[in-house]
Amino acid sequence: MTEFKIRTKEFALNIIKLIKEIPSDKIADVLNKQLLRSSTSVAANYRAACRSRSHAEFISKIGIVEEEADESTFWLELISESNTHNSDSLQVLLKESKELTAIFTSSGKTAKANKVLNNKGK
């Protein structure tokens, strides 16, 4: 398994652990559901990107991964800033979600640039 398949899966698993720590109430339940959906989507869509059948499909899927990582950052920020929950583990996951967003943003830009370069060579 590649480094990023492992890293994104661990991110999703650590989000699950975090959500288990957060006491249930109306607001927390909504935020947790959104966070769970977006964070697990990072891992699932990265796996799908790795199995892309074309360069265009890879670019599309890596864009989804980037969006879901950024959305995970948003939900983590809301959980923290609304005082729904705050812990060291939440701050670590917030840092990780920002790093993953940056990595996949860069990956998408590189893939797009490579596509342009490859098309010029034809």
Answer whether 24's CB lies under 8 Å from 40's CB.
Answer: no
pLDDT at 119: 63
Output the 3-class SS for 57-75.
HHHHHHHHHHHHHHHHHHH
Pick the closest to residue 107 from 31, 29, 40, 55 (CA basis). Answer: 55
**CATH number of the structural domain spanning residue 85:** 1.20.1440.60
- Position 114 scores a pLDDT of 83
Query: What is the structure's pLDDT at 116?
Result: 60
List the domain range (segments joined by +) for residue 30. 3-120
Per-residue pLDDT of the chain (122 residues; tens, 9 = 90+): 699 999 999 999 999 999 999 999 999 999 999 999 999 999 999 999 999 999 999 999 999 999 999 999 999 999 999 999 999 999 999 999 999 999 999 999 999 888 665 665 55
**How far is the CA of 45 from the CAs of 40, 41, 81, 87, in angstroms?**
9, 6, 28, 28
**Is pTM, for the whole model, over 0.85?**
yes
pLDDT at position 118 is: 65
> What domain count does the chain have?
1
